[in-house]
Amino acid sequence: MKPILVQMSDKQWTLQAVHLACALARSNQTTIILLRLMPARHPGYLGTEFGDTPPTDEEHKEIDEYAATAEDYGVAMCLQPMQYVNRLEAVSDAADQLDTAIVFAHIPPGRIPYWHRFQRWNLKRQLSAAHRQLFTLDQQTDRPDSIPAVIITPSPVRSKS
């Protein structure tokens, strides 16, 4: 199976996404790519050293925690930095460039609920066109204590020949 892409966002969301992605990766014998997005101050800086932003000490700690989580699951994880002008387009572009099967992306809620739904729909549409699945971990119920989940179906055991 192709790798699973997890967009770095706030710590709580990313940690939850990493746990779910690790469970999927372990059951499908694949790897995880942790996408660290860096906003470019100017479109002309894209792809240059001027667009690179080194991780903060806090981000280093978080990345180490995500890597430890993947190690606990027995899954390989690598970090992929990427500069962007539009965050959601960058997630879609990264999925294309890295040829991933599943994408965990965080679409923060805004002041306009319809805009949030449109952004989720548009990203899902872009990824579906390339046969990729999108998981956003949005709360789909009215219960604030509900936890999003991914259902994993066991794959048949393959015999070694």
Determine the pLDDT at residue 1: 84
Residue 70: inside a domain = yes
The identity of residue 138, as a single letter, is: D
Contact 87, 110 (CB under 8 A): no
Does some domain include residue 2?
no
Question: Does a structural domain hold residue 95?
Answer: yes
- Say how many CA atoms lie within 13 Å of 64 toward its Cβ: 7
* Residue 144 placed within a domain: no
**pLDDT score recorded for residue 142:** 41
Q: What is the CATH number of the domain that holds 131?
A: 3.40.50.620
Residue 140, domain member (yes or no):
no
How many structural domains is the chain composed of?
Answer: 1
Phi, psi (degrees; rounded to nearest 5) at 135:
-120, 125
Instruction: Give, as one character, the DSSP assignment of residue 158.
Output: P
Domain hosting residue 37, numbered range = 15-135
Q: What is the pLDDT along the chain (161 residues), one digit of tens a residue?
A: 899 999 999 999 999 999 999 999 999 999 999 999 988 876 776 766 766 778 889 999 999 999 999 999 999 999 999 988 888 899 999 999 999 999 999 998 888 888 888 999 999 999 999 999 999 987 554 444 555 566 665 656 565 55
Q: Is residue 153 part of a domain?
A: no
At a CB cut-off of 8 Å and minimum separation 6, what does 60 contact? none
- CA-CA distance, 153 to 99, in Å (whole number)? 23
Residue 55 lies in a domain: yes
- Report the distance separating Cα 93 and Cα 95, nearest Å: 5
In-domain check, residue 148: no
Q: Which of 18, 56, 26 is nearest to 154 (CA)?
A: 26
